Amino acid sequence: MRVAAEGLRLLGAVTLGAVTALAELIFLLLALPLLSNPNVTAAARRLARLEARRLRLDPDTLQDGRPVPYLAARVPVGVLGGLVVALLVFGTDIGVRLLAAWVRGEQFDGMAPSIPLVAYIMVGGIVLLFLDLSGVVGVHALERRLALRMLAPDPTQALERRIAELAESRAGIVAAVDSERRRIERDLHDGLQQRLVALSMLVGRARRGRPELLEQAHQEAQQALAELREVAWRVYPSGLDTLGLGEALAGVAERSSVPVRVACDLRRRPPMAVETAAYFVVCEAVTNAAKHAGATLITVEVHEEDAAVLVRVRDDGAGGAQAAGGGLSGLARRVAALDGGLEVNSPIGGPTTITAVLPCG
């Protein structure tokens, strides 16, 4: 069934390619005197992007090519595909009319059915059908190769761009690590350290004859332990190694001051780097929603999509979150280090949706 569906899809793509080839030929003939006009180039680029979608290629990776020469080069390929499809339709029509005539007991083109003739026509028909279907597949593959060759960026430019992206990503990782270290130091200094100083003073006063302060000291010690545990989880969630991402996110929901609904649907455990990045995306998004957005409900969705882990955090807060903010920019750098992407959609008035795509390959 899947093979038949894929075959019909290829046949439809080649047929549509034949139609668009004729339309693009008319476009080129009309635009021939104006090829240097930027509007003509822009229109050709839009047509090339439509062709990329028809061939199931990512249009964003083909935006730096040569759209006008590509359209000119694919016209004969599209016409060839149209001829192959026309031959298939013609052969199918002949076969159907031949079969219908013989079923009714009539001759077809002066031929009456006999065992040798039926065997000859069946073998010939199967061979021609195979050749025609191979032609459909071949034309589709040729169109894809032509699009990749003429629309994709120059390999040298692509390599230079990739090197620049890696250099930027490495610098971003260093900046993110430094920012995280500063935040941990601030949490320790402003929170845990101050609480331990107060605890020390309470214990000292209790030793000087104020035993009633021991209960307060005990409470301060419990608070200090809780804050220390929270800081440790921000550094690295130790439970992530043993419990997995779903249980670690459930822990985030339990510690949040705002109700959090978590839906983690992963068929298998992703790589550890992907799990860690997904965990910190959720942590930062939940923390921001609880502290700054005034949210009353946060929804976390984690599932697999096209060989990647998709993390989506949505809250019903006031919105207005900035992707360039300290925490979110650090997350963007962390995600970019895995060749992923982070998108922040937070209009004024809400809701805020943070989406991270983390490739697993």
Residues 6+ apart with CB under 8 A from 357: 305, 308, 309, 310, 311, 335, 340, 341
Tell me the pTM: 0.49
Q: Determine the 3-state secondary structure of 262 from DSSP.
A: strand
pLDDT at 99: 84
271: left (phi over 0), alpha (psi -120 to 50) or beta: beta
Domain 243-361 CATH superfamily: Histidine kinase-like ATPase, C-terminal domain (3.30.565.10)
Cα dihedral sign, 262-244-185-179? negative
Whether the CB-CB separation of 317 and 278 falls below 8 Å is answered with: no
Residue count (the chain): 361
Tell me the C-alpha distance between 89 and 97, whole Å: 12
Domain boundaries, the chain: 2-153, 156-235, 243-361
> Cβ-count burial of 310 within 10 angstroms (0-12 exposed, 13-18 middle, 19+ buried)?
middle
pLDDT at 299: 92
Angle between helices 326-336 and 155-187 in degrees, nearest 10? 140
The torsion angles phi and psi of 141, rounded to 5 degrees, stand at -65, -40
Could you read off the pLDDT tens digit of each residue along the chain, which spans 361 residues?
A: 677 788 888 888 888 888 988 988 888 888 887 777 788 788 888 888 888 888 888 766 665 567 888 888 889 999 999 999 999 999 888 888 888 888 887 777 777 878 888 788 888 888 988 888 898 899 999 998 888 888 876 667 667 777 777 666 665 665 566 566 666 666 666 666 676 677 667 676 666 666 666 666 667 676 766 666 666 556 666 667 777 888 888 888 888 888 999 998 888 888 888 888 888 888 888 888 888 778 889 999 999 888 889 999 999 888 887 776 656 777 787 788 787 888 888 888 878 899 999 888 6
